[in-house]
Copies of this chain bind each other. A is one copy, B any other.
Amino acid sequence: MAFTIYDASIPMMVRMLQNLSSILDKAAAHAAAKGIQPATMIESSLAPDMFNLARQVQSAADAAKAGAARLSGEVPPSHADTETTFDELKGRIAKVIAYVESFTPEQINAGGERSITIPARGEPHVFKNGGDYLTQFLIPNFFFHVTTAYGLVRQQGVEIGKMTYLTGV
């Protein structure tokens, strides 16, 4: 059974986005139980000049959305970064899960045969094919934001562990 670019991207990103949604559920429950303002957690960051939790979640969702769009050659829907509550952030994730699940393996795998260009500071960066784009940018970038969101929530005292990150439980 052949392993494809689709197999290495869409189902994994969907699972991790679902787990991220569970992490936000646990963060919201923690805030409610401890009398913490949700905004305090949503606006927290690991360093003063790093993205806060909201931006990390938005960036994880955008990474998955852009990945499916670039691999398939489609134009992704635009999502404004206006979420300020846990429910709104979960809604952003749900929209992106529905979007990336709307693609067939054939649509995504078509990106394996094309070069893919992404904007970058200065010159746009060209990956010679979808596999290079996937492994040199999409996957590392996606996990950067998911893991940083996890670390932020964890640092805020929410009782989650690596199993939450891996399985949502």
Residues on A facing B (Cβ under 8 Å): 1-5, 7-8, 11-12, 15-16, 46-47, 50, 109, 112-113, 129-131, 134-137, 139-141, 143-144, 147-148, 150-151, 154-155, 157, 162, 165-166
Contact = CB atoms under 8 A, between A and B. Distances in A.
Given A46-B154, A154-B50, A166-B141, A136 B3 contact: no
Number of copies: 2
Nearest to A10: B135
Contacts of A47: 154-155, 157
26 contacts: A1-B112, A3-B8, A3-B109, A3-B112, A3-B130, A7-B135, A8-B131, A8-B134, A8-B135, A12-B136, A12-B139, A12-B140, A46-B46, A46-B154, A46-B155, A50-B154, A139-B139, A140-B143, A140-B166, A141-B162, A143-B147, A144-B166, A147-B147, A147-B151, A148-B151, A151-B151
